[in-house]
Structure 1
Amino acid sequence: LPERLLLDGFERMAAAHPDRVAVSFEGTSLSYGEFSARVNRLARHLIAQGVGPESLVGLLVSRSVDLVVGMYAVVAAGGAYVPLDPSHPGERIGYILDTAEPVCLLSTTADAQAVGIEPADAGLGGGGAVGGGRVAGGSVGTLAGVPVLALDTLDTSGFDAASLTDVDRLAPVRPSNTAYVIFTSGSTGRPKGVAVPHSAIANQVAWMLAQYPMDASDVYLQKTATTFDVSLWGYFLPLAAGAHLVVATPDGHRDPEYLARVIVEQRVTVTDFVPSMLTVFAAHTAVGSVPSLEHVFVIGEALPPETVTAMHAVSDAAVHNLYGPTEAAVSITYWQATGDESGSVPIGVPQWNSRVYVLDSRLHPVPEGVTGELYLAGDQLARGYVTRPDLSSDRFVASPFDAGRRMYRTGDLVRWQRVDGQAVLEYLGRTDFQVKFRGQRIELGEIESAFLAQPQVSQAAVVVAASQLGEQLVAYVVPAPGQQIVQTVLLDAVREILPTYMVPAAVVVLEAFPLNTSGKLDRKALPEPEFEAREFRAPSTPIEEIVAGVFADVLGVDRIGADDDFFALGGNSLIATQVAARVGQALDVQVPVRMLFEA
């Protein structure tokens, strides 16, 4: 393929079909012409603030039209966007900003207030200098010394709405320039920023649209967190093909009933799921109720054939299993699932301009059927990790098969197997303590570091434990001398550091860790966790009795008291979707999943 930029396809579509609907969110829609104009005006404003090639711009915005406009504007200006989740702890957001050192941070009034920005001084609002000489044109304040621009109040009407060229930018944009930086969980206890160039993500967009063509008749439902690189499919594929992008409400990805309703109302044809959420969606969607759905992209964890079968029972949509780490621009292998596979669905074969190698510890290829570590090569590799040349050189290694080129060491264990005579990859697990948990890539070491940062903890180990409720994150801790550990207090402290999906469901306190003959932690000897209820207080109203009955049934316990905590008993975001659906059916009302998190 000729080298391309990420927005090339969108710019062609905006010029050819300005009146076609481009983006919709909660009843508001923008045509390609309207969306392009907003993007271009904001891009010119960003250029005036010093944004250009290799500049980073933070994006702290909940799912909305403003989020999509901001994302596209940063890339159109020549910069690279760094997504941040407003619901993540302030310490994590601050660390990412300190590491990335963005020129500015795009947000909204509500999101900026939620994370606690420092209000702008009266003399700075019109464009004074703040934070190390940065210019805060229209800044409403700062966060970690970075000027914050509120997209819902920023006036860009004075800027030209025409498409940008390199003449308008501070410097020409090249395919080798960074398009985005996504911070993923890091084994040292700190997130690491993966810098992905235009050439890599443009290859992914081109391959996806060649393999799964879209046009004006298609509608893509985008519901994936912006901090998860799979979100790029939804944000960039449809608009590169002249299709319609529908953005889900911020909490919508947790609610299968909401998703089914939007698919019907918006005639959605394409969307994506992590396997665990697809399982929940299939279980709570009526047969034939989403007839418009044609393609479901699945990625993020091993896909059980049973999930494919369950989805095929309620929808005729094709289920595509894709695989790829953030370091390889979303996905790099693919397989159309049938549900007839045994074990788990294969992750398939390489996409174009990509190569995969299954190697032993000496970087020698292993025979078919033999387990080895998966290495990736080709056009979709990331440039490396922001400010971490040591980690970049450890994970991106010289290729012995292609002089002068690199390979990415995934840490994933795979093997080649034959399916209908074709050699395909089968995913088997990890080589280290990095895990895929409900679609999110997590370094257990990062969670352990959060526990070790607490003064009452001397040792910590985190595992993914099987339970009757599915896989759960469980922390094992040893108290510091003279200290006592209270689970609720400890978890509250950890929540100040880690995002919700990384907070364990239970804490097990031990006097000492079990050790193996080498004196190392014996993880297999760690005791099974117990999820305990509070002192029992019986439900006192008919509604409390109904809710308690649903909780008890879903959690698999004998009884639930009025004061019991759903999450302390082992509940999680996936099980919460089942509870919300069943309580809603029992009471004949709509119960948003977020009510369980806010209660």
Structure 2
Amino acid sequence: LLVEWNDTTVDYPHATLPALFEAQVDRTPHAIAVVCDDTQLTYQELNTRANRLARRLADRGVRPESVVALFLDRSADYIVALMAVLKAGGAYLPVDPNSPADRVTYILGDAQPTLVITSAGHESALPQKPERILLDALPGSEAEERAGRDLAASDRNLEALPQHPAYVIYTSGSTGTPKGVLVEHASLTSLYHNHFGPGGLYATEIEAAGEQRFKVGMTAPLSFDASWDPLLWMVAGHELHVIDDLTRQDAHLLVSYAAANRLDVIDTTPSHLEQLVDSGLMRDNRSCPRIVSFGGEAIGNGLWQQLRAAELSAFNLYGPTECTVDALIAPVAAHAKPVLGKPLSNTEVFVLDAALRPVPVGVAGELYVAGVQLARGYLGRAG
């Protein structure tokens, strides 16, 4: 209970997320990094655009511990803006333009971001403060060659360290006032290495594919931490498909998209996955992905057994927003019935009673999580 199940220590390299991404750009500059609607960006194109915006953010005072809000539609440019914030040293805060106005106002008022990156079409929905940058109105002078190069230490206001925050994502507020969860680069890069490092979660499938890159569908709202699992696939060198809102919310359209684009990886919730399966996701080789990962809610035994019988790899990923996306992982093939599984690398989990004592196997209790992936805390709520 205390030792064997939690013997998870792995010595991963210390890095920030932009450093991992820039290393991938150097390896595969001309490979497709992001696809959204009719837009395709190579790693070099994505990196160049992000660098240009990152310099502008640094000029506006963005630095480590700064929060920069993204108030944008799903697009390839969203990924550009996200990477730019991280490259400038800031922490990105996703704010969904489809959210109710009072939630948008509350989040921006509570987080007090240094800047908001938005578009002309959404600017009027923002409160008067904070300052904003219109992504679709940047001047052409930003296109010079120097501005597209990776930022040096002298280009930033302060060099970001693994202990600096990478993102702030707000809870839904279902158990009280929404709170901003502050997650550091060290936590995010630990998740990356757990998934894509030697012996990682997806190592067997990636090794079996050889030199072939995977096509990964992003279906989660970008304001949820679940969006990071597909994003990390891109950082690892695979092709990220940012599925538009109309397609991702219609099971038949999404299955058609998966088949037409031969998506290899789908990451979603069990209830959404059930709709996709009913719409033919695993009906034939063309529409069946190689990997399905799911989380965010409990999965029923019926769907679990369907996944066990299918010719794919399936993973149950469990974790609260406060624990950098995933805390426990269960390969479906290894378990006859639904379980949460075992802790990720450098993560510990304990099932305790009301007096914080470990309960025996099979006895109900509450799940406690510890380790490097635990968030720093709630933004502005150190207590």
Q: Determine if the TM-score, normalized by the shorter chain, exceeds 0.5.
A: yes
Which moves more between the two structures, 159-168 or 364-373?
159-168
Alignment of 1:202-241 (within 5 A): 202-209=189-196, 210-213=200-203, 214=206, 216-235=212-231, 237-241=232-236
Q: Is the 8 A contact 1:306 1:339 kept in 2?
A: no
Any idea what the Cα deviations from partners look like across 1:367-410, whole Å, max 9, x if unmatched? 111111111111101000011123xxxxxxxxxxxxxxxxxxxx
The answer on 1:377 being equivalent to 2:364 is no
Separation in 2 of the partners of 1:78 and 1:15? 20
Q: 1:277: which partner in 2? A: 272
One-letter amino acid of the structure 2 residue matched with residue 380 of structure 1: Q
Residues of 2 paired with 1:147 and 1:269: CA distance?
40
> Is 1:146 the equivalent of 2:133?
no
Match of 1:190 among 177, 183, 201: 177
CA distance in 2, matches of 1:189, 1:18: 45
- Rate the CA distance shift 1:365–1:189 in 2: closer, same or farther, 3 A: closer
| Alpha-carbon distance between aligned partners in 1 of 2:121 and 2:302, rounded to the nearest angstrom | 41
The answer to whether structure 1 residue 347 and structure 2 residue 340 are counterparts is: yes
Structure number having the greater helix percentage: 2
SS in 2 for 1:276: helix
Deviations 1:429-467 (A, max 9, x none): xxxxxxxxxxxxxxxxxxxxxxxxxxxxxxxxxxxxxxx
- Per the alignment, residue 17 of structure 1 pairs with 28
Map 1:34-183 → 2, pairs under 5 A: 34-113=45-124, 116-117=125-126, 143-155=127-139, 156-158=142-144, 160-183=147-170
Distance apart, 1:216 and its partner CA:
4.8
Residues in 2 aligned to 1:386 and 1:294: alpha-carbon distance in whole angstroms: 38
In structure 2, runs of 5+ residues without a counterpart are 1-11
Conserved 8 A contact 1:59-1:81: yes
Deviation at 1:304, TM superposition (A): 1.2
* TM-superposition CA deviations, 1:86-145 (whole Å, max 9, x none): 0111111011111111111111222334xx24xxxxxxxxxxxxxxxxxxxxxxxxx341
Tell me the CA shift for residue 267 of structure 1: 1.8
Structure 1, unaligned runs of 5 or more: 118-142, 391-599
Distance of 1:296 and 1:105 partners within structure 2:
34
Count of equivalent residues: 359
Code of the residue aligned with 2:51 in structure 1: it is N
Pairwise mapping of residues 264-413 of structure 1 onto structure 2 (< 5 A)?
264-285=259-280, 287-288=283-284, 290-291=286-287, 293-311=289-307, 316-338=311-333, 341-342=336-337, 345-390=338-383
Q: Distance in 2 between matches of 1:188 and 1:223?
A: 25
Change (3 A) 1:321 1:227: same
Point out which structure has higher relative CO (alpha carbons under 8 A, 6+ apart).
2
Structure having the higher strand fraction is: 1
Cα gap change, 1:259 to 1:312, in 2 (>3 Å): farther
Q: 2:8: which partner in 1?
A: none
Question: Aligned partners of 1:195, 1:208: CA distance in 2, in Å?
Answer: 21
CA shift at 1:338, angstroms? Answer: 3.8
**Deviation at residue 173 of structure 1 after TM alignment:** 0.7
Matching of residue 199 in structure 1 with residue 186 in structure 2: yes
| Distance of 1:283 and 1:111 partners within structure 2 | 36
Which residue of 2 is the match for residue 28 of structure 1? 39
| Alignment partners' CA distance in 1, 2:215 and 2:175 | 40
1:172 to 1:216, Cα distance in 2 relative to 1, 3 A:
farther
Per-residue deviation at 1:283? 0.7
User: 1:153 is aligned with what amino acid?
Assistant: A
Letter in 2 for 1:149: I
Give the secondary-structure state (helix, strand or coil) at the position aligned to 1:280: helix
The worse-fitting range, judged by mean Cα deviation, of 369-378 and 283-292 is 283-292
User: Where does residue 528 of structure 1 map in the other structure?
Assistant: none
Deviation at 1:157?
Answer: 2.1
**Alpha-carbon separation, structure 2, partners of 1:240 and 1:332:** 20
How far does residue 69 in structure 1 lie from its aligned partner after superposition? 0.6
The one-letter amino acid of 1:145's match is: K
Q: How does 1:231-270 map to 2 (within 5 A)?
A: 231-235=227-231, 237-270=232-265
CA displacement at 1:250 relative to structure 2: 2.1
Deviating more after overlay: 247-256 vs 21-30: 247-256
Larger Rg: 1
SS in structure 1 at match of 2:14? coil
Q: CA deviation at 1:166?
A: 2.5
Alignment partner of 2:368: what SS?
strand
> Match for 1:223: what amino acid?
T
Report SS of the residue matched to 2:23: helix
Aligned counterparts of 2:174 and 2:321: Cα–Cα separation in 1: 15
Does the 8 Å contact 1:260/1:290 carry over to 2? no
Taking a change above 3 Å as real, the CA distance of residues 349 and 374 of structure 1, as seen in their structure-2 partners, is same
Amino acid at match of 1:50: G
- Counterpart CA distance in 2 for 1:7 and 1:292 is 32
Give the fraction of aligned pairs with identical amino acids, expressed as a percent. Answer: 35
Aligned partner of residue 261 in structure 1, secondary structure:
helix
Shift of the alpha carbon at 1:15?
Answer: 1.4
State whether residues 305 and 341 of structure 1, in contact with CA within 8 Å, keep that contact through their aligned partners in structure 2.
no
Query: For 2:174 and 2:54, how far apart are their aligned partners in 1?
Result: 35
Distance of 1:164 and 1:239 partners within structure 2? 20
2:153 & 2:219 partners in 1: Cα distance? 33
1:503 corresponds in structure 2 to none
How far apart are residue 188 of structure 1 and its match?
A: 6.8
Q: Distance in 1 between matches of 2:135 and 2:308?
A: 41
Cα 1:303/1:339, change in 2 over 3 Å: farther
